[in-house]
C-alpha cells in the first residue's frame, strides 16, 4: 500500500475505484502515517477518525476523488464534524454549527477529511509556530527549517506523503509560502474565485482566499474546478471561467510575454539560490517558445504603501477575531502569542477612517498592478527571497506587529512577492521547480492578470512536463516511509 501514497489524488482515486485498495484501508493507513510522523513534524491536530469513517460510509462512489484521505487547515473551512483551534488558545476546540461552503464543495469531490493541520495563530505568520500546539511544525525536507505558513501543517503533511492534497488558505502568501518551502504546487486564484461563506463575506478586505496544497498540477486543477464559484449571498464574484481548469491544463499555449523579476519590488537583491531558480526557469520558458525579458520594478514606494495598508487591515481583522473571545482590555500574553498581541495593539490605533483609507490604498495598488499586466502576460519571480527559514526565526514572540511584518528582518523582507497579489486580487502560483545543493525546495512564482487563472494552469502544466518534479517528491516520501 505504501506506493499508493506516492500517487497524486487523482491516481489514488482511480486505484480505489478499480478495487486495488479499499477506501477504508487507505483512510486507516493515512491516519497511521500522520500519527507516526507527528512526533517529528508536528503537522496534524484535532483527529476525528470516527467521524471520517462515517463520512466515508455516506460518500457517493461516483465522486471524482472517492475515498481519498485529506486534511483541513486549522483555520477556516469551518465544519460541524471538525472543531478547530484557529491556531489560538482563545479558540481552542471551537465547535461549529455549520459547514463552510468550501468544506461542502471539497466533500462533494469525495475527499475524506479526518483531522486538521497546524497554522500560526489566526493565520498571521509565514511559519506554523503557535503556542496552542506546543511545538513548531517542521519541514520534511529538513526538520531544522520551517514548512512555511500559514498553511504549514498542510504543506508538511502533503510533502511527507501523509495525504496527497490538503486544504489551505492564502491571505498574504499562506498557500504559496508552504508550497515553496515544501516542494509543492500552491495556487492562489483570482479574488472571490472560491467561496468564503457563510461565516464571512470576505477575509481581510478581500485579500484572503482558500486554496489547496498538492503535488501535481492536475490535482489543483480538479479541486479548483469543483470548488470555484460564488456561494449564496457572496458580495461579489470572480470573472467567469472560459473552459475550466482541467480543460485549460491541456490547452495549447500561445507564446506568452514573460517579465522576469529577480530582485524584490524595491530592487533589493535576494538569495542567490532564488536568483538561480528564476534564471533556470526563464531558460526553460525560452525553450518552450515564450518571449522572456528582464523587468525592473518601479513600484517600490507603491509596494511600501500597500504593505503598510495590508498590515493595518490584518491588525484590525486580528483585533476583531480576538474580540469575539475576550474583552480586548483583558487580553494578556497568557492568552495569545506575542505577534497576535502586537497585532491587536496596532489594531486599536486603526480608526474607521484609517481602515477605509487602507482599503483605498490596496484598491489603488490593484489598479496599478492591472495596468502593468497590459505590458506582459506573466510576471516570473522567486516565491520567497531565500530558501525556507530556520525554525524559530519567525517565532511569534515579537509584540511589535509593524516591525514583525515590515521591519528589515521581517516577514515582508522574507516574502516580498506573495502579498502583492493578495492585495491586487490577481491569480498567482508557486511551482516546485528548483532545489538547493543541500536539497531544500525553492519555489518559483508566477502571476497573471485578474481573471487569467486558466492561463496560469496551462503554463503550470507545460512546466510540469518540461521540468518535472514528481521524482523529487517521491524520493522524500520514501525516506519517511521506507518499504
Give the largest CA-CA distance in the chain: 60
What span, in angstroms and rounded, lies between the C-alpha atoms of 381 and 442? 11
Mean pLDDT of 337-355: 98
pTM: 0.98
Q: Which domains, and CATH codes, for the chain?
A: 2-480 (3.90.1300.10)
Whether 273 and 436 have beta carbons less than 8 Å apart is answered as yes
Q: How far apart are CA 334 and CA 323, in angstroms?
A: 15
> Tens digit of pLDDT for each residue in 59-93?
999 999 999 999 999 999 999 999 999 999 999 99
Per-residue pLDDT of 193-207, as tens digits, reads: 999 999 999 999 999
Grid-cell match 503535488, residue found: 215
- Per residue in 454-474, pLDDT (tens digit) is 999 999 999 999 999 999 999
**Per-residue cell: 102:** 468550501
pLDDT at 263 over 90: yes
Retrieve residue 137's grid coordinates.
511544525
Torsion over CA: 307, 309, 313, 318 (sign): positive
- Best CA proximity match to 219, nearest among 239, 244, 245: 245
Whole-number mean pLDDT of the chain? 98
Backbone angles phi, psi at 106, to 5 degrees: -60, -45
DSSP string, 422-461: HHH---EEEEEEEE-TTS-EEEEEEE-STT-HHHHHHHHH
Query: What is residue 221's three-state secondary structure?
Result: helix
* Residue with grid cell 511589535, as numbered in its chain: 400
Residue at grid coordinates 507527528: 38
pLDDT tens across 395-427, in order?
Answer: 999 999 999 999 999 999 999 999 999 999 999
Mean pLDDT calculated for residue range 232-250: 97
Amino acid at each position: 500500500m505504501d506506493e499508493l501514497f506516492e500517487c497524486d489524488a487523482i491516481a489514488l482515486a482511480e486505484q480505489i475505484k478499480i478495487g486495488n485498495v479499499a477506501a477504508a484501508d487507505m483512510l486507516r493507513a493515512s491516519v497511521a502515517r500522520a500519527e507516526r510522523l507527528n512526533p517529528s513534524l508536528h503537522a496534524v491536530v484535532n483527529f476525528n477518525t470516527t467521524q471520517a469513517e462515517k463520512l466515508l460510509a455516506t460518500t457517493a462512489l461516483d465522486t471524482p476523488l472517492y475515498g481519498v484521505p485529506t486534511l483541513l487547515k486549522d483555520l477556516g473551512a469551518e465544519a460541524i464534524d471538525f472543531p478547530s483551534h484557529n491556531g489560538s488558545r482563545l479558540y481552542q476546540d471551537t465547535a461549529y454549527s455549520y459547514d463552510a461552503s468550501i468544506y461542502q464543495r471539497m466533500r462533494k469531490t469525495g475527499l475524506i477529511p479526518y483531522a486538521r493541520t497546524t497554522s500560526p495563530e489566526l493565520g498571521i505568520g509565514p511559519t506554523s509556530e503557535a503556542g496552542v500546539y506546543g511545538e513548531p511544525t517542521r519541514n520534511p525536507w529538513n526538520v531544522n527549517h520551517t514548512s512555511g505558513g500559514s498553511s504549514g501543517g498542510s504543506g508538511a503533511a502533503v510533502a511527507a506523503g501523509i495525504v496527497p492534497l490538503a486544504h489551505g488558505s492564502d491571505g498574504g502568501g499562506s498557500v504559496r509560502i508552504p508550497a515553496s518551502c515544501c516542494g509543492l504546487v500552491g495556487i492562489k486564484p483570482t479574488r472571490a474565485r472560491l467561496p468564503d461563506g457563510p461565516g464571512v463575506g470576505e477575509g481581510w478586505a478581500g485579500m484572503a482566499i482558500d486554496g489547496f496544497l498538492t503535488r501535481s498540477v492536475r490535482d489543483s486543477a480538479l479541486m479548483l474546478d469543483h470548488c470555484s464559484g460564488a456561494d449564496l449571498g457572496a458580495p461579489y464574484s470572480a470573472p467567469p471561467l472560459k473552459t475550466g481548469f482541467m480543460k485549460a491544463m491541456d490547452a495549447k499555449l500561445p507564446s506568452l510575454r514573460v517579465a522576469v523579476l529577480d530582485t524584490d519590488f524595491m530592487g533589493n537583491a535576494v538569495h542567490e539560490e532564488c536568483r538561480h531558480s528564476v534564471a533556470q526557469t526563464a531558460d526553460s520558458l525560452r525553450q518552450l517558445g515564450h518571449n522572456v525579458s528582464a523587468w525592473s520594478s518601479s513600484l517600490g514606494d507603491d509596494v511600501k504603501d500597500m504593505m503598510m495598508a495590508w498590515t493595518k487591515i490584518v491588525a484590525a481583522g486580528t483585533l476583531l477575531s480576538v474580540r469575539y473571545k475576550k474583552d480586548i482590555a483583558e487580553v494578556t500574553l497568557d492568552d495569545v502569542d506575542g505577534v497576535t498581541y502586537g497585532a491587536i495593539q496596532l489594531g486599536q490605533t486603526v480608526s474607521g477612517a484609517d481602515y477605509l483609507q487602507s482599503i483605498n490604498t490596496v484598491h489603488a495598488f490593484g489598479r496599478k498592478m492591472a495596468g502593468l499586466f497590459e505590458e506582459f502576460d506573466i510576471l516570473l519571480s522567486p516565491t520567497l527571497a531565500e530558501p525556507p527559514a530556520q525554525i524559530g526565526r519567525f517565532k511569534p514572540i515579537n509584540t511589535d506587529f509593524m516591525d514583525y511584518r515590515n521591519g528589515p528582518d521581517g516577514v515582508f523582507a522574507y516574502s516580498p512577492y506573495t502579498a502583492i497579489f493578495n492585495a491586487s486580487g490577481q491569480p498567482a502560483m508557486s511551482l516546485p521547480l528548483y532545489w538547493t545543493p543541500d536539497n531544500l525546495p525553492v519555489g518559483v512564482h508566477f502571476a497573471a492578470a485578474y481573471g487569467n487563472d486558466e492561463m496560469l494552469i496551462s503554463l503550470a502544466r507545460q512546466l510540469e512536463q518540461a521540468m518535472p518534479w514528481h521524482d523529487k517528491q517521491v524520493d522524500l516520501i520514501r525516506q519517511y516511509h521506507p518499504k
